Amino acid sequence: MLTVAQLRGTQQPRRSPYSDKQYYQEYVLQRIEGYKNSIGRDELLRLGDEAASELQSAAEGQFLLTEVLMLESVDRLIVKRLSLRPYNRWRRQFLKLREAQRTPNHWGLEPTSPLARLLPRIEPRDVTLVIGSAAEPAAYLLAAHDAVVTFLAGDLGCVERVESRMATEALGSRFEGFVAQAGSCLPEFVDIPGPLDLVVMDPSALGELSAACRMDFIADLRRLSRPGSLHVILPSCPGLAPESLRSFYEGWTVEGDRRRRRRATGSSGPEGLVLCCPPCLQDTSARRSTAS
């Protein structure tokens, strides 16, 4: 996640963007893995036999058939079966698709939404956590900007829908979804691949929790967030306004406070809350040390 100073060009960004070749390699790998998962074991074994026969015929027995060679040969056969587009043709279509996917309105979000305003600061491989069914569009938008997205919702149907659409939109390479209810801490089986750069939360995920449990849950998210990270609280729950969670973020600053005050005089609806972790040293690797 870029800081404001990095966004203005006064500091260097932490990470380089993905190249088109990297995107193409991911596209091919996703299609190969999807095909392997769609066929039965017998068909996969037949593919292995076909690959072994081709390798032996081509090399006339001059090398030892290794597992790596077999896997590469099977993958080549799958690429041929699927008639995957060559790089140049794929690139022309992909660039148009990804450009559309990176716009908030592609996912039904307003360009003025809190998350939309943060998009220029998102870097490839930023570690993000999206919580709650109403935050589903945020998961797609972040994935389109090459963030690592972990999605958490209590509804199995919602998680399966997000997983399916991520795959359909070719966004699933850095996505993982979990079915779990928010509690006093983040469930142990939810694997976060590093300190969090960004959290996007639908407050309705906390709607049935007591005030004490909400405080513990947010405290756990704060422990998992690196210095300078951002938490976005969406205006998605009529019964739990973003401002009601502000007291759980002692020491954090509210981004865009001036804009919020100006908007308040003529606002026709609620606005989300963007909170920034102070850029000081803290234990970002600790997991649930006191929440239980």
Contact 110, 141 (CB under 8 A): no
Question: How far is 149 from 166, CA to CA, in rounded Å?
Answer: 11
> What are the E-state strand segments in the chain?
127-131, 148-153, 175-179, 196-201, 225-233, 253-254, 273-276
Q: What is the pLDDT of residue 257?
A: 57
Q: Kindly list the domain boundaries of the chain, sorted by start residue.
A: 21-87, 106-276
Confidence of residue 289 (pLDDT cuts 50, 70, 90): very low
Q: What is the pLDDT of residue 286?
A: 44
Mean of the pLDDT values across residues 53-75?
Answer: 72
pLDDT in tens, 123-182: 999 999 999 999 999 999 999 999 999 999 999 999 999 999 998 888 888 899 999 988
Q: Are strands 148-153 and 175-179 parallel, antiparallel or unpaired?
A: parallel
Q: What is the pLDDT of residue 72?
A: 87
Q: Is the pTM of this model over 0.95?
A: no
The superfamily in CATH containing domain 106-276 is Vaccinia Virus protein VP39 (3.40.50.150)
Q: What is the pLDDT of residue 284?
A: 42
**Other C-beta atoms within 10 Å of 29: how many?**
12
pLDDT in tens, 240-287: 999 999 999 999 999 875 455 555 445 555 578 999 999 864 444 444
Choose between 3 and 261: higher pLDDT. 3
Mean of the pLDDT values across residues 52-73?
Answer: 71
Residue 104 above 80 pLDDT? yes
pLDDT in tens, 23-35: 888 888 888 988 8
Q: Are strands 273-276 and 253-254 parallel, antiparallel or unpaired?
A: antiparallel
Q: If you average pLDDT over every residue of the chain, what do you get?
A: 85
